[in-house]
Structure 1
Amino acid sequence: MKRYLPKLVQNDKWLEPYAGVISDRMILADRKEREVTGGRSLADFATGHLYFGLHRTESGWVIREWAPNATHIYLVGTFNDWQESVEYAFASLDHGVWELHLAADQMGHGDLYALNVHWAVNHGKRIPAWATRVVQDENTHMFNAQVWAPENPYEWKNPEFQRTEEQPLIYEGHVGMAGEEARVHTYNEFREQMLPRIKANGYNVIQLMAIPEHPYYGSFGYHVSSFFAASSRFGTPEELKQLIDEAHGMGIAVIMDLVHSHAVKNEVEGLGNYDGTRYQFFHEGAKGEHPAWDSYCFNYDKNEVLHFLLSNISYWLTEYKFDGFRFDGVTSMLYFNHGLEIAFTTYDDYFNANVDQEATTYFKLANKLIKQINPQALSIAEDMSGMPGLAASIEDGGLGFDFRMAMGVPDFWIKMIKEKSDDEWEVGDIFYQLTSKRMDEQVVSYAESHDQALVGDKTIIFRLIDKEMYFSMRKDQPNLIVDRGIALHKMIRLATASTAGGAYLNFMGNEFGHPEWIDFPREGNNWSYSHARRIWSIAEDQDLKFHWLYDFDKEMIQLINQNKILSIPPVDKVLENTPDKVLAYHRGLFLFVFNFNPTQSFTDYGIPLGAGKYQIVLNTDSGRFGGHDRVDEEISYYTMPSKGLDSQHYLRLYLPARTALVLKKVDIPKVK
Structure 2
Amino acid sequence: MKLPNLIKNDSYLEPFTSIIIDRLQTAKDKEQEILRGQSLSDFAQGHKWYGLHREKNQWVIRDWAPNATEIYLIGEFNNWQELPEYAFNFTGSGNWELRLSQEKMSHGDLFAFSIYWEGGQGKRIPAWANRVVQDDYTKIFNAQVWAPEKEFKWKHSKFQRSAEAPLIYEAHIGMAGEDARVHTYNEFRTNILPRIQQAGYNTIQLMAIPEHPYYGSFGYHVSSFFAPSSRFGTPEELKQLVDEAHGMGILVIIDLVHSHAVKNEVEGLGKYDGTRWQFFHDGPKGEHPAWDSYCFNYGKTEVIHFLLSNIRYWLEDFRFDGFRFDGVTSMLYFDHGLGKAFTCYDDYFNAGLDQEAFSYFIMANRLIHEINPNALSIAEEMSGLPGLATSYNDGGLGFDYRMAMGVPDFWIKLIKEVSDEKWDVGNIFYELTSKRMDEKVVSYAESHDQALVGDKTIIFRLIDKEMYFSMRKDQPNLAVERGIALHKMIRLATLSCAGGAYLNFMGNEFGHPEWIDFPREGNNWSYAHTRRLWSLEDNKELKYCWLSDFDREMIAMAKKDKLIETPEVNWVHDHKENEVLAYTRGKYLFVFNFHPTQSLVDYGIPLEASKYKIVLNTDEDRFGGQNRIDNQLIYGTHPSGDANSQHYLLLYLPARTALVLKKQGK
Contact 1:75 1:88 (8 Å CA) reproduced: yes
1:110 equivalent among 96, 108, 111 = 108
Identify the residue that residue 264 of structure 2 maps to in structure 1: 266
Identify the residue that residue 444 of structure 1 maps to in structure 2: 442
* Distance (whole Å) between structure 1 residues aligned to residue 470 and residue 539 of structure 2: 14
User: What are the residue-to-residue correspondences of 1:522-537 with 2, within 5 Å?
Assistant: 522-537=520-535
User: What are the residue-to-residue correspondences of 1:142-291 with 2, within 5 Å?
Assistant: 142-291=140-289
Identify the residue that residue 474 of structure 2 maps to in structure 1: 476
User: What are the residue-to-residue correspondences of 1:245-394 with 2, within 5 Å?
Assistant: 245-394=243-392
Letter in 2 for 1:453: A
Write out per-residue CA displacement over residues 564-604 of structure 1, whole angstroms, 9 at most, x where no aligned residue: 10000000011111111100000000000000011100111
* Distance (whole Å) between structure 2 residues aligned to residue 59 and residue 491 of structure 1: 62
For the residue of structure 2 that corresponds to 1:93, the secondary structure is strand
* Distance (whole Å) between structure 2 residues aligned to residue 35 and residue 68 of structure 1: 21
Letter in 1 for 2:214: Y
Contact 1:317 1:323 (8 Å CA) reproduced: yes
Letter in 2 for 1:35: E
* Distance (whole Å) between structure 2 residues aligned to residue 217 and residue 280 of structure 1: 26
* Distance (whole Å) between structure 1 residues aligned to residue 529 and residue 595 of structure 2: 35
* Distance (whole Å) between structure 2 residues aligned to residue 463 and residue 604 of structure 1: 33
User: What are the residue-to-residue correspondences of 1:584-623 with 2, within 5 Å?
Assistant: 584-623=582-621
2:395 equivalent among 381, 397, 400 = 397
For the residue of structure 2 that corresponds to 1:592, the secondary structure is strand
Identify the residue that residue 460 of structure 1 maps to in structure 2: 458
Shift of 1:562: 2.2
For the residue of structure 1 that corresponds to 2:171, the secondary structure is strand
For the residue of structure 2 that corresponds to 1:660, the secondary structure is strand
User: What are the residue-to-residue correspondences of 1:461-610 with 2, within 5 Å?
Assistant: 461-610=459-608
For the residue of structure 1 that corresponds to 2:261, the secondary structure is coil
Identify the residue that residue 662 of structure 1 maps to in structure 2: 660
Write out per-residue CA displacement over residues 10-62 of structure 1, whole angstroms, 9 at most, x where no aligned residue: 11011111111111111111111111111111010000000000011222110
2:14 equivalent among 16, 21, 24 = 16
Write out per-residue CA displacement over residues 584-628 of structure 1, whole angstroms, 9 at most, x where no aligned residue: 000000000000011100111111111111111100000000000
* Distance (whole Å) between structure 1 residues aligned to residue 316 and residue 520 of structure 2: 35
* Distance (whole Å) between structure 1 residues aligned to residue 390 and residue 665 of structure 2: 37
The more displaced of 643-652 and 372-381 is 643-652
Identify the residue that residue 60 of structure 1 maps to in structure 2: 58
Write out per-residue CA displacement over residues 66-106 of structure 1, whole angstroms, 9 at most, x where no aligned residue: 00000000000000000000110100011101000010100
Write out per-residue CA displacement over residues 531-584 of structure 1, whole angstroms, 9 at most, x where no aligned residue: 000000001111111110111111101111222100000000111111111000
* Distance (whole Å) between structure 2 residues aligned to residue 220 and residue 622 of structure 1: 38
Unaligned runs of 5+ in 2: none
Contact 1:203 1:561 (8 Å CA) reproduced: no
* Distance (whole Å) between structure 2 residues aligned to residue 509 and residue 562 of structure 1: 23
Letter in 2 for 1:567: E
Letter in 2 for 1:369: L
Shift of 1:363: 0.4
Letter in 2 for 1:116: S
2:635 equivalent among 621, 634, 637 = 637
For the residue of structure 2 that corresponds to 1:272, the secondary structure is coil
Letter in 2 for 1:57: E
* Distance (whole Å) between structure 1 residues aligned to residue 632 and residue 78 of structure 2: 76
Identify the residue that residue 139 of structure 1 maps to in structure 2: 137
Contact 1:26 1:397 (8 Å CA) reproduced: yes
Write out per-residue CA displacement over residues 388-422 of structure 1, whole angstroms, 9 at most, x where no aligned residue: 11001111111110000000000000000000100
* Distance (whole Å) between structure 2 residues aligned to residue 240 and residue 81 of structure 1: 31
Q: TM-score, normalised by structure 2?
A: 0.99
1:25 equivalent among 23, 26, 36 = 23
* Distance (whole Å) between structure 1 residues aligned to residue 2 and residue 269 of structure 2: 43
* Distance (whole Å) between structure 2 residues aligned to residue 646 and residue 291 of structure 1: 65
Letter in 2 for 1:508: M
Letter in 2 for 1:589: K
Write out per-residue CA displacement over residues 157-208 of structure 1, whole angstroms, 9 at most, x where no aligned residue: 0112111121100000000000010000000011011111111111010000
* Distance (whole Å) between structure 2 residues aligned to residue 88 and residue 372 of structure 1: 39
Letter in 1 for 2:60: V
Letter in 1 for 2:373: P
For the residue of structure 1 that corresponds to 2:582, the secondary structure is strand
* Distance (whole Å) between structure 1 residues aligned to residue 279 and residue 617 of structure 2: 54
Write out per-residue CA displacement over residues 83-135 of structure 1, whole angstroms, 9 at most, x where no aligned residue: 00011010001110100001010001000000000001010000000000000
The more displaced of 642-651 and 471-480 is 642-651
Letter in 1 for 2:318: Y
Identify the residue that residue 45 of structure 1 maps to in structure 2: 43
Identify the residue that residue 84 of structure 2 maps to in structure 1: 86
* Distance (whole Å) between structure 2 residues aligned to residue 517 and residue 85 of structure 1: 51
* Distance (whole Å) between structure 1 residues aligned to residue 233 and residue 54 of structure 2: 22
Contact 1:173 1:209 (8 Å CA) reproduced: yes
For the residue of structure 1 that corresponds to 2:68, the secondary structure is coil
* Distance (whole Å) between structure 2 residues aligned to residue 584 and residue 89 of structure 1: 72
Q: TM-score, normalised by structure 1?
A: 0.99
* Distance (whole Å) between structure 1 residues aligned to residue 171 and residue 326 of structure 2: 15
Percent identity, aligned pairs only? Answer: 71
For the residue of structure 1 that corresponds to 2:305, the secondary structure is helix
Superposed structure 1 runs of 4+ greater than 6 Å apart:
none
Letter in 1 for 2:549: D
* Distance (whole Å) between structure 2 residues aligned to residue 247 and residue 561 of structure 1: 18
For the residue of structure 1 that corresponds to 2:312, the secondary structure is helix
Unaligned runs of 5+ in 1: none
For the residue of structure 2 that corresponds to 1:559, the secondary structure is helix
The more displaced of 81-90 and 607-616 is 607-616
Write out per-residue CA displacement over residues 254-295 of structure 1, whole angstroms, 9 at most, x where no aligned residue: 000000000000000000000000100000000000010000
Number of residue-to-residue matches in the alignment:
666
Contact 1:48 1:311 (8 Å CA) reproduced: yes
Identify the residue that residue 435 of structure 1 maps to in structure 2: 433
Identify the residue that residue 419 of structure 1 maps to in structure 2: 417
Letter in 2 for 1:585: Y
Q: Find out whether 1:7 has 2:26 as its counterpart.
A: no
Shift of 1:667: 1.2
The more displaced of 130-139 and 21-30 is 21-30
Letter in 2 for 1:291: P
Shift of 1:4: 3.4
* Distance (whole Å) between structure 2 residues aligned to residue 646 and residue 209 of structure 1: 56
